[in-house]
């Protein structure tokens, strides 16, 4: 499971940072890919990575500002042109449905795959299957803006093959039965308690991807005990008043949120173009409060083990 950052800038594109977009790729789940936000030129950024448009199954939009959505019509169209046939679901605030449908209609863009659009209007769980649960909370921004919490469900432990072999149980269909049933009777009449031959459950990972936001309690709750928090850092230390006025956060405010939420790691993104020459300053400021902290760059990939 890893995040690839396609755009890490704020507001408008800069020479070294495109507008916001990132993808979560999950090789352990058939390579499914989820995208978070889709700023202008996102499909061009994808060309510099190993991301496959056809593998994108879900797109989560945090809010309707242009630097987070202007690339969406192009990505949807190109996914069709490049052979995508599986269903794609887009989640976002009210207005995302009109934006997509009008853009595709007036440009006469025909999609060869089913497209589902789900508009969000309140906090809560928005998606759940056998492997994941995704929930949202509204953050504090100038317009409706959501943060996403992705929780991987605990996975069954590994079959203890060496222990089974020591009991004289050789590989075969019986191994599957042990995985699927609480107890299994062997051909020789012995009954095995399956839990004695399965390791402890593997704890699921927890991620929080926040949209643009001021400091707020919702951000802390979304990130609580997460393995990874991705947080905007539009401004630097000492610019708290400006950040508040523009409904954004500073590097140190992001770090304080990470610390309050007890996360395992923090990544700063959504970096203002004013820091093109000294963006390391933001990283240093955040690390004074919380570590490990990383500064996202376009095309950088973070592995979540």
Distance CA 95, CA 217 (A): 25
pLDDT score at 32: 93
Report which of 99, 113, 110 is spatially closest to residue 55, judged by C-alpha positions.
113
Query: What predicted TM-score, i.e. pTM, was given to this entire model?
Result: 0.90
Tokens coding 130: 């056998």
Residues making up the binding site? 63, 65, 67-68, 141, 212, 270
pLDDT at 153 > cutoff 90: yes
Given the residues 32, 37, 67, 86, the one annotated as active site:
67
Supply the mean pLDDT for the chain: 95
Q: CB of 297 within 8 A of CB of 6?
A: no
pLDDT band at 271 (very low <50, low <70, confident <90, very high): very high
> With 0-12 CB in 10 A as exposed, 13-18 as middle and 19+ as buried, what is 41?
middle
**Residue 22 phi/psi, 5° resolution?**
-150, 155
Does pLDDT of 179 surpass 90?
no
Give the residue extent of every domain in the chain. Answer: 2-155+202-303, 161-197
Cis amide leading into 292 (omega within 30): yes
Under the banding of pLDDT at 50, 70 and 90, the label for residue 157 is confident
Q: Is the dihedral of CA 166, 167, 169, 171 positive or negative?
A: negative
Residues written for the chain: 305
d(CA 257, CA 221): 10
* Angle, vertex CA 136, rays to CA 233 and CA 100, nearest 5: 85
Annotated binding site for Zn(2+): 63, 65, 67-68, 141, 212, 270
Span 214-219, average pLDDT:
98
Mean pLDDT computed over 124-145:
97
Q: Which fold has domain 2-155+202-303?
A: Metallo-beta-lactamase; Chain A (3.60.15)
- CA distances to 46, 208, 234 from 261, rounded to whole Å, are 32, 11, 20
Whether the Cβ atoms of residue 291 and residue 245 lie closer than 8 Å to each other: no
Q: Does residue 200 surpass a pLDDT of 90?
A: no
Closest by Cα among 153, 165, 264, 164 to 201: 153
Q: What is the pLDDT of residue 100?
A: 98
Which range, of 138-152, 173-187, 259-273, 288-302, averages the lowest pLDDT?
173-187
Instruction: State the Cα–Cα distance between residues 145 and 161, nearest whole angstrom.
Output: 48
- Helix or strand or coil: residue 175? helix
Closest alpha carbon to 304 in 43, 34, 88: 34
The residue among 140, 275, 126, 162 whose CA lies nearest residue 213 is: 140
Give the integer Cα–Cα distance in Å for 114 and 279.
41
- Residue 78's Cβ-count burial label (10 Å; 0-12, 13-18, 19+) is middle
Give the pLDDT score at 217. Answer: 98
Beta strand 266-269 with 56-60 is unpaired
Contact 20, 63 (CB under 8 A): no
- The full DSSP string for 107-137 is TT---SS-EEEEEE-SSEEEEE-SSEEEEEE
Q: What are the phi and psi torsion angles at 38 (to 5°)? A: -155, 75
Is 20 a residue whose pLDDT tops 90?
A: yes
Question: For 124-128, 156-160, 252-256, which range has the lowest pLDDT when averaged over its residues?
Answer: 156-160
Active site residue 162: no
Instruction: Provide the β-strand partners of residue 132.
Output: 152
């Amino acid at each position: 499971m890893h995040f690839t950052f396609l755009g890490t800038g704020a507001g408008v594109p800069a020479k070294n940072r495109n507008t916001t977009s990132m993808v979560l790729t999950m090789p352990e789940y058939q390579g499914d890919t989820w995208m978070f936000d889709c700023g202008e030129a996102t499909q061009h950024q994808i060309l510099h990575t190993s991301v496959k448009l056809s593998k994108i199954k879900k797109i989560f939009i945090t809010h309707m500002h242009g630097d987070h959505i202007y690339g969406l019509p192009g990505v949807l169209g190109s996914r069709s042109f490049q052979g995508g046939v599986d269903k794609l679901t887009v989640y976002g605030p009210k207005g995302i449905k009109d934006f997509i449908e009008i853009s595709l209609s007036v440009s006469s863009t025909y999609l060869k795959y089913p497209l589902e659009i789900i508009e969000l209007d309140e906090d809560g769980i928005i998606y759940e299957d056998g492997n994941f649960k995704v929930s949202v909370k509204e953050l504090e921004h100038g317009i409706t803006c959501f943060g996403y919490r992705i929780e991987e469900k605990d996975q069954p432990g590994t079959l203890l093959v060496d222990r089974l072999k020591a009991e004289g149980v050789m590989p075969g269909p019986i191994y599957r039965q042990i995985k699927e049933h609480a107890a299994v009777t062997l051909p020789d009449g012995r009954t095995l308690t399956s839990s004695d031959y399965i390791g402890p459950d593997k704890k699921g990972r927890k991620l929080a991807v926040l949209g643009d936001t001021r400091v707020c309690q919702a951000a802390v709750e979304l990130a609580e005990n997460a393995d990874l928090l991705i947080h905007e850092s539009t401004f630097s230390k000492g610019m708290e008043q400006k950040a508040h006025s523009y409904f954004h956060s500073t590097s140190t405010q992001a770090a304080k949120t990470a610390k309050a939420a007890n996360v395992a790691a923090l990544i700063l993104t959504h970096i203002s173009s004013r820091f093109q020459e000294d963006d390391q300053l933001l990283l240093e400021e955040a690390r004074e409060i919380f570590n490990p902290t990383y500064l996202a760059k376009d095309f950088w990939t973070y592995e979540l083990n």
